[in-house]
A = this chain, B = another copy of it.
Amino acid sequence: VAGQPRTRLALDERRAQLLALGQEMFSARSYDEISIDEIAAAAGVSKGLLYHYFPTKRDFYVAGLREAAAEIRALTEPDLSLPPAERLQHSLRAYLDYVETHAVGFRSLLRGGIGSDAEVRAILDETRAGTEARVLDGIGLVDPPPAVRLALRGWLAFVEEVSLEWLDRREPDRDTLVDVLMVVLGSAVEAAARAG
């Protein structure tokens, strides 16, 4: 019993290492191109051990996505000590920091390859819905009209696309990019609110 925590930790660490490796591999090549054999070989473990953690390649992939989504969510948690408008700016900075330091995993999350899979879609949708709720909170809207919701979804897509492209050149700098994103959010919500 005394050794159990350490064993559990070792198991969790191994699992996390496998997931990190998976994010890296799936981000460089497509889901279909990568086999379980290749993953096991790259990780230096037996296929049997890999299957012990993840019964199928899809399970492995989905677990990696879930991990990345949870990480982003935690890192961009609004800082409630800040005024609402600054919370959003703060979260966007944290988001871009994540994007920068986890470039590979981030690409994997958004462009990994099985976006039509129901569970993958659900993880992305859930992440986006969570972000949407935070943004609504940040701009102080409780029950916005359909056009504003539409604009918010559009803005989230804007942020995702720009973040992915930004990784290639890192221009402009992070804070300037956050300013641009805030301006676009403001004008999109305003124009949509006028549209009703």
Contacts and interface: CB of A to CB of B under 8 A. Distances in A.
B154 A169 contact: no
A31 interface: yes
A165 interface: yes
A195 B179 contact: yes
Interface string A181-196: 0011011101110011
Given A157-B160, A166-B150, A191 B183 contact: yes
Interface residues of A, number: 45
A45 to B, nearest CB: 25
Contact of A113 (B115, B171, B179): B115
A172 B158 contact: no
Given A158-B154, A162-B153, A165-B150, A191 B195 contact: no
A156 interface: yes
Nearest to A147: B172
Interface in A15-29: none
A183 B169 CA distance: 27
Contacts of A143: none
A30 B117 contact: yes
A176 interface: yes
Interface string A3-40: 00000000000000000000000000011100000000
